[in-house]
Amino acid sequence: MSRFSRLIGIALVAVIAASTLYVAQNSPTAAEGQAMILPVDPNPLIVETRAGEKRFDIEIADDAGERERGLMFRQQMGDDHGMLFVFEDAREVGFWMQNTPMPLDLIFIGQDGRVRAILPGEPFSTAVISPNTPVRFVLEVKAGIAEKAGIRDGDRLRHPVIDTIAKPANPG
């Protein structure tokens, strides 16, 4: 291979690397100040309320980076849409609303798939939102949706991600 061919190859690799870096830095999910939009899970999340089932289309934030960004910068969201935060184990968690312009309901869910607490999230607040009890999941929906849907403490949530963890105890 000639020296000229090697230089062309090195230049081509540099151009590809620079292009990839530019796209990654300027994509909507990575750019500062842009909302992270995760794919909608094909399975609906179902909340079993006293008044019947309520279904939500959800995005799933199941790694540290996704959980950290959450619904930051999101301007709007449908009443039947939410983001489910999945943690590796049951623990006390705290959320805040910095860079989040929408008021939210934060639904804290235990290892058993049952609602432990429903707390409000105020836009742009840095106050910590926590039920001060271990949870495995948190579902964020638009403010007022939990009440409108009749979601209360103790209600069971069903979704393959939750059901895999919240398997019923095996009798005997």
pLDDT tens-digit map of 36-49: 999 999 999 999 99
Task: Inform me whether the pLDDT recorded for 134 exceeds 90.
Answer: yes
Query: pTM of the predicted model, to two decimals?
Result: 0.80
Q: Structure tokens of 87?
A: 């943690």
CA dihedral 75, 78, 79, 84 (to 10 degrees): -80
Tell me what pLDDT residue 33 has: 84
Q: How confident is the model at residue 170 (pLDDT cuts 50, 70, 90)?
A: low
CA nearest neighbour of 74 among 151, 141, 147: 141
Count the alpha carbons within 13 Å of 150 in the hemisphere toward its beta carbon.
Answer: 10
Instruction: Give dist(CA 162, CA 24) in Å, integer.
Output: 31
